[in-house]
Amino acid sequence: MTMHPQPIAIAFAGPSEPSLEAAIHRWIVRLELLGCTIDGGDVRVEHGKRTTKVWIGVAVGAHCCAVERSHADPYVAVADAFRAVLQTSRTGDCIPSVS
């Protein structure tokens, strides 16, 4: 598995889930393999009564991408959120970073 250039903080609202955290790490590596270089950021997972909400805020090159996705299946919520990061980074919908 590839090491990330900058740390990606993963936080769970409630008990952490090692298998879901591993899925998040796999998605980070997958995005990097697809040319979306993540330079650091945060992933937050919050389980509700019926859905899981995943929020991702990452630096991609000179831009910041922030997305939030929800789904009844936590793994689908993670996948949808990372696909949204990839899409926004490719379409240029990310916000330029302020240095």
Residues 5-51 pLDDT 10s: 557 899 999 888 999 999 999 999 998 888 877 888 999 999 988 99
**pTM (2 d.p.):** 0.84
- 56 exposure class (CB count in 10 Å sphere: 0-12, 13-18, 19+): buried
Q: What is the pLDDT of residues 49-82, one digit of tens each?
A: 899 999 999 887 777 888 999 999 999 999 999 9
Sheet holding 8-13, edge to edge: 8-13, 38-47, 52-60, 63-71, 95-96
> What is the per-residue DSSP string for 19-44?
HHHHHHHHHHHHHHHTT--EEEEEEE
Domains, the chain, ordered by start: 8-96 (3.30.160.100)
